[in-house]
Amino acid sequence: MDTSKQDSSILKEGFLVKRGHVVHNWKVRWFVLKADKLLYYRYEGGKRDNCHRGTIPLTGCEITCPYLEYDTRPLVLRLKTNTSEDHFLEACSREERDEWAAVIGAAVQKLPSGTKTVPAPSSRSSKSLQLHNVNLSQVVDSMYDVHSGIKLSSHVEQGCTYINCFSGSTVVDWLVFMHLALTRVEAVTLASALLDEGCLRAVGVRSVFAEHSAALGEQFLDDSTALYSFAESFKKRGSVKSEKSVCAVEMSGKVQRRGYLLKQGHKVKNWKVRLFVLRADPGFLHYYDPSKDDLSPAGGFSLRGCLVSSLDDNGVPSGVKGNVQGNLFKIITQTDKHYFIQAPTRQEKMEWIEAIKRHT
């Protein structure tokens, strides 16, 4: 992950939470700032995707920091490009937000101001589906419905047989038939959002290639030979989430450290970016899902009696799944629960280990 050592053109990089353009939800992305643009990438499992998912041009860009329109997200900054396109980015702390704003602002100042232009409307954009009014979870629940949802079947592509899947054109047909999209173009946009959210996954050569090479919003193929299936994480997820109350004492300690780290799941061994918050007196480590507006932690544990250790980056340590990029450490709680965590850089890993050790 620590790519800045190899590329001197990178001014700053790290995790930020970005509000989507097509679907107005929030997703963690890895951002890389260069002299004239801000690139962002998605993480697949425990590794950064090599194909960048979007570019924010900086010429003539205006920065608003802080941007206080989101009550549950006070750490947002806004970038308005010279084509009046807004990008909303959330950092893990005020210090990190202000540092991003300062570094981006310095980069913008070194660029020519540029001419502010407004893109000409196209027939496609004028018909685009307003996906901020669409609940993707409800859409995929309907698709998975045993009676009225997408029918699963086996398909053969280039000599390989794929089971429990469906074609891209079948999905588009279904979305239009169920009036979830007015046109096939809108259905492709919606299906691309489901793919980007991890609700669907590409299987087979054609669909996988399109997902990694097509523009955002066009990754899904309306084609009878492009194959997809429901994501494993969706098929395994529980329908009812048990309610957990967080004791006020846990949250009463003073915040010592905040940051985005990757955490391996306990049941489905996948990697997700979480906002970790370390509190002292009493010592607790909580983690939050940054894609949600819910202010309550997704989990946490007392640091009393915890063991924390760095893991070797050579090979895959025991208990670790996925194609991770290193900077791993492990926490064993007093109740013998094991947490595998991945930091963006080696320096951050060591800083987190030392901070946790001080409060065990």
Mean pLDDT computed over 178-192: 87
pLDDT reading at 126 higher than 60: no
Question: With bands split at pLDDT 50, 70 and 90, how would you rate the model's confidence at 285?
Answer: very high
CATH 1.10.150.20 fits 129-236, yes or no: no
More confident position, 53 or 105: 105
Domain boundaries, the chain: 3-109, 129-236, 254-357
Mean pLDDT computed over 154-173: 87
| pLDDT > 70: percent of the chain | 85
Ranges of beta strands (E only) in the chain are 12-19, 26-33, 37-41, 43-44, 47-48, 54-57, 62-67, 76-80, 86-90, 153-157, 160-167, 200-203, 227-230, 254-264, 271-280, 284-288, 299-302, 307-310, 328-332, 338-342
User: What class does CATH assign to 3-109?
Assistant: mainly beta
A 10 A CB-CB count for 17 gives 21
Token pair 């030392």 in the structure block, residue: 354
pLDDT in tens, 231-282: 776 554 443 333 344 566 777 888 999 999 999 998 888 899 999 999 998 8
| pLDDT, the chain, mean | 82
- Give the per-residue pLDDT at 56: 93
Question: With bands split at pLDDT 50, 70 and 90, how would you rate the model's confidence at 55?
Answer: very high
Mean pLDDT computed over 80-107: 92
- Give the per-residue pLDDT at 98: 92
pLDDT in tens, 1-22: 554 455 778 999 999 999 987 6
SS3 39: strand
The domain made up of 254-357 has a fold known as PH-domain like (2.30.29)
- Give the per-residue pLDDT at 236: 43
Query: b/e per residue, 238-262, with b = 16+ CB within 10 A?
Result: eeeeeeeeeeeebbebeebbbbbbb
Same fold, 3-109 and 254-357: yes
Mean pLDDT computed over 35-59: 85
More confident position, 221 or 208: 221
Question: With bands split at pLDDT 50, 70 and 90, how would you rate the model's confidence at 127?
Answer: very low
- Give the per-residue pLDDT at 205: 83
Sequence letter at residue 54 = G
- Give the per-residue pLDDT at 133: 55
- Give the per-residue pLDDT at 268: 82
- Give the per-residue pLDDT at 218: 67
SS3 126: helix
